[in-house]
Amino acid sequence: MSLSVLSSQDSQADSKLFSAPRWGAWSAFLIIVSFYLSQAVGMWMVQMAVTFGLGGLAGVGEASTLAQTWALPLSLALGTIGGGMVSWQVATSRAKPSLDLDWLLELLGKSYDLRILWRFMVLGLSLGLGFFALTEYGVLPADDLPQPLFDAMNHAPLFLQIGWVLMFVLLFPLVEEVVFRGFFFTGLSQSWGSSVAGVVTTFVFVSVHMPKVLEFWPALVSVTLIGALTVWFRIRSGNLAPGIAMHSTYNATLVAAAFLTQPAS
């Protein structure tokens, strides 16, 4: 696939990067640590609330089943949204000059030519199919692979399955791209330059997906590719639209594969 469509925007990328609000490396790390800490605390609080709430409404066995079904997707969704809001507040408070919402909209692709995003969606589809082929036919039998999130999605009621799909395809890619390739990469680049920032951003992105990437090498390869390609698109285009398109399509491919290959009831 040709990615030459990015070349015409090379001259604009650096100017957009350094005309962004100033954070620097210290603030960049503070933003991303704030995101994961607040996400973890939010997930724990939601899981406790769901467990105790359902425990008071049903018997022990029924409450346990309901809690397991509801707690994980609710905690992931609310924890991620809460973490994103906290990271936005930290980024806003640390930005010098103040963070302009128009800058964020431009970063998300407000003026990007959306007609060429299909190229990145095809790339995301290819990466998803490649990972699926490795897991199904190249490494281990499908039933032996640890995939708790997909298993939870497959066994959830229909309305929760819809929520799972929205999280995988929309919420997670959008929040991760804004936090990593938006705030984090921009702050590191302002202190260390784009090349070093790209390597560090990719390394941290892979690290937060542990231990899965250490236990299963195709996951390490796919997460590293996603991290490296999205940060490269960020550097070349000056915004997040290509990375979001690829990341979302990659996740959508894995979600579709999980539904299509689930064992019959």
- Give the dihedral sign, CA 63/66/70/71: positive
Residues contacting 202, CB < 8 A, separation 6+ = 224, 227, 228, 231
What is the structure's pLDDT at 102? 87
User: Would you give the end-to-end CA distance of the chain in angstroms?
Assistant: 40
Question: Which of residues 18 and 116 earns the better pLDDT score?
Answer: 116
Residue 115: pLDDT over 80? yes
pLDDT in tens, 13-62: 555 555 678 999 999 999 999 999 999 999 999 888 877 766 555 455 55
Segment 203-228 shows an average pLDDT of: 86
What is the structure's pLDDT at 5? 45
Residue 162: pLDDT over 90? yes
Residue 187: pLDDT over 50? yes
Segment 97-118 shows an average pLDDT of: 88
Segment 230-258 shows an average pLDDT of: 95
Residue 255: pLDDT over 70? yes
DSSP 73-113: HHHHHHHHHHHHHHHHHHHHHH-BSPPPHHHHHHHTTTTS-
137: Cα within 13 Å, side-chain hemisphere: 5
What is the structure's pLDDT at 67? 65
Residue 164: pLDDT over 70? yes
What is the structure's pLDDT at 4? 46
Segment 111-134 shows an average pLDDT of: 91
- Mean pLDDT (the chain) is 84
Indicate the pLDDT class of residue 3, thresholds 50, 70 and 90: very low
Residue 147: pLDDT over 80? no
Cβ count within 10 A of residue 159: 7
Q: What percent of the chain has pLDDT over 90?
A: 55
Residue 169: pLDDT over 90? yes
Choose among 43, 40, 70: nearest CA to 55: 70
Cβ count within 10 A of residue 170: 14
